[in-house]
Amino acid sequence: MSVMVWIEQNNNGPVGNSFEVLGKAKELAAALGTQTVAVLVGGDTANVEQVRSYGADVVMTVTSPSLASYRLSAYVKALRKAVEAAGATVILMAATVRGREVAAMLGSELEAGYAPDAIDLRVEGGKLVAVRSVYSNNILADVTFNSPVQVVSVRPRSFPMPEPGAASGEVKAVDAGLSEGDIKEQVIEVKSTDTGEVSLTDASIIVSGGRGVQQDPAKGFELVAQLANVLGAAVGASRAAVDAGYIPYKHQVGQTGKTVKPDLYIAAGISGAIQHLAGMGGSKIIVAINKDAEAPIFEKANYGIVGDLYQVLPALTAEFKKRLGK
């Protein structure tokens, strides 16, 4: 028995959200009287010392040239090896785009109970309980498991980022036992869309624009970006804005986009459809800017500004610039 966390990696190294999950995993493992195992899957072990500084009892590495680029079937096979080697019964990972698909496939292959996109975890009566948000946080559902193995993906920013300390934890290498013939996908080319922007799922502040920019979409999203820039925030969008081609899909927040949980979410020209709220309803503070005082977003917002975003956004940017000395 052990609590295992997959430490996802991208071009910039381990994904911070994985360490949020690892911090919580240590609490759960202590309550279950077991160990925490962090697993690194990839082409090499370059980031193992960084992972050791987050205090897992064991850091497992599963490396192979076949794992140098992310491929779902290969990563799931590698993780299965790690699960078997560690005798893991609780398997956790961040509910990133990759984490969601890896957790679902791994859960299915292990015939494990699977709770996607949990926002909290606890141990009750010696058993894991995952808390899931339903109807944009209007209902919190406790999920318990009948299966011996349990897989949970955890919504980014559900737990605080732990501070790294002195490297500890035994390093164990697990043989991936992979051959190219077992892997369904082939990577032909990798084109990075990483432009150095603040990532939506990591952001503590998000400024989003919606169809309300339609009068001049380029100008509207420029105003959104200017405010985001002053606040060190990420830029988000509604699906209507994405579908209209005002901004690329990677910025979409909502049911069919990203789920975010910033400290501050500023929604400009967004009506507040349930599918948008599903992605940002867990934000700590929501500020809505909308020229229609009856827009549903105001029911969810902590602060509402009834006005034209083309006037309100530049006014906010100018004021924040002054106050933040920028």
Ligand X SMILES: Cc1cc2nc3c(=O)[nH]c(=O)nc-3n(C[C@H](O)[C@H](O)[C@H](O)COP(=O)(O)OP(=O)(O)OC[C@H]3O[C@@H](n4cnc5c(N)ncnc54)[C@H](O)[C@@H]3O)c2cc1C
CA 8 to chain centre: 11
CA dihedral 161, 316, 137, 36 (to 10 degrees): -10
Min separation Cβ 239 and ligand X, Å: 3
CB nearer to ligand X: give 150 or 208: 208
The one among 99, 113, 257, 304 contacting ligand X by CB under 6 A:
257
Q: Which residue in 231, 310, 301, 225 sits closest to 267, CA to CA?
A: 301
For tokens 């919504």, the residue is: 155
d(CA 210, CA 91): 37
Min separation Cβ 10 and ligand X, Å: 22
CB nearer to ligand X: give 35 or 133: 133
Q: Does 255 bind ligand X (CB under 6 A)?
A: yes
By residue count, the chain amounts to 326
For the chain, give the longest Cα–Cα distance: 60
The one among 4, 154, 241, 301 contacting ligand X by CB under 6 A:
241
Report the residue closest to ligand X, judged by CB: 254
Q: Does 57 bind ligand X (CB under 6 A)?
A: no
Q: Does 227 bind ligand X (CB under 6 A)?
A: no
Residue 245's CB is within 10 A of a number of other CB atoms, namely 8
Q: Does 308 bind ligand X (CB under 6 A)?
A: yes
The one among 47, 66, 273, 321 contacting ligand X by CB under 6 A:
273
Min separation Cβ 287 and ligand X, Å: 13
251-257 CB contacts, 8 Å cutoff, 24+ apart: 251/200, 251/208, 253/200, 253/206, 253/208, 253/279, 253/280, 254/278, 254/279, 254/280, 255/279
CB nearer to ligand X: give 198 or 273: 273
Number of residues that bind ligand X (CB under 6 A): 27
CB nearer to ligand X: give 163 or 292: 292
CA-derived radius of gyration, the chain:
21
Min separation Cβ 97 and ligand X, Å: 13
CB nearer to ligand X: give 67 or 289: 289
CB nearer to ligand X: give 5 or 288: 288
Min separation Cβ 252 and ligand X, Å: 6
Report whether 29 contacts 50 (CB < 8 A).
no
Min separation Cβ 74 and ligand X, Å: 29
Phi then psi for 180, rounded to 5 degrees? -55, -30
DSSP state of 124: E
Min separation Cβ 206 and ligand X, Å: 13
CB nearer to ligand X: give 113 or 269: 269
Q: Which residue in 127, 120, 122 sits closest to 157, CA to CA?
A: 120
Q: Which residues bind ligand X (CB under 6 A)?
A: 210-212, 238-241, 252, 254-257, 269-271, 273, 275-276, 279, 289-292, 295, 308-310
